[in-house]
Homo-oligomer: A and B are copies of this chain.
Amino acid sequence: MSSPTRLLVLGVVRIFQPVHGYDVRRELRSWRAESWANVAPGSIYNALKSMARDGLVEVVGTDQVGGRPERTSYRLTAEGEREFGRLVREAFWAVAPSVDPLMPALSFIWTLRREEAIAALEHRIQALRGEAERARLEIARLDDPHSRDQVALMLDLAARRAAAELPWAEELVAKLRAGEYTFADERAPAEPTAR
């Protein structure tokens, strides 16, 4: 039971309590959390309810503005405070691998034709360059004083990871150009002179 979502929602409640779900959602949006966590609306509201069930969080009350849906406000319990500390430390000390949408694709790269694989990788290289650039520009444009520093740290890390993937992809393209590996449009390992 570690759940990054739990940590995230619990942490936001901890800072802004009392808060309701939509506040959490808005805050996480300003953290750019869509790109590194599960923060679809259902995930957030579910996290709040399940943490309430588990006594980490409690309902402060509900209010209503005009004819809009009721808002339920939450705050941490003492138990929630303890659990928050535990989750932060756990997340920091555990170097957990994360799911990665590229790996599955890479597993099947050789089902493409060689030329298409090269094209896909080159497209990716361009995209990664753009990604790193975008992160830099976005860092310059951060303004929310509450989250500026942390978000900048994360964008920086993301940019560096993208930058690390770049030479990897470039070297792979070079190998493919040199005839390494066997692709869908080929029968036997390609000889440099063949075809």
Contact = CB atoms under 8 A, between A and B. Distances in A.
A131 interface: yes
Interface residues of A, number: 60
Contacts of A156: 168
**Chain A interface SS verdict (over half):** helix
A96 B101 contact: yes
A160 B162 CA distance: 10
A88 B101 contact: no
A178 interface: no
Given A99-B99, A181-B149, A8 B168 contact: no
A98 interface: yes
Interface stretch (A50-58, A63-71, A106-114): A106-114
What is the total number of copies of this protein in its complex? 2
A164 B93 CA distance: 18
A161 B150 contact: no
A97 B35 contact: yes
Which of A84, A99, A158, A164 lies at the interface centre, i.e. has the most chain B CB atoms within 10 A of its CB? A99
Interface string A113-150: 00000001001100110010000000000000000011
A65 to B, nearest CB: 29
A188 to B, nearest CB: 15
B101 A91 contact: yes
A95 B7 CA distance: 26
The list of the 9 closest CB pairs from A to B, nearest first, reads A164-B164, A91-B105, A35-B97, A95-B127, A36-B103, A92-B120, A36-B100, A4-B104, A8-B104
Interface of A: 2, 4, 7-8, 11, 14, 31, 33, 35-38, 84-85, 88-89, 91-112, 120, 123-124, 127-128, 131, 149-150, 153-154, 156-158, 160-161, 163-165, 167-168, 172, 181
Given A36-B103, A95-B131, 17 more contacts: A4-B101, A7-B105, A84-B108, A84-B111, A85-B111, A89-B120, A92-B105, A94-B101, A95-B128, A96-B101, A98-B99, A99-B99, A103-B157, A106-B157, A160-B164, A160-B167, A161-B161
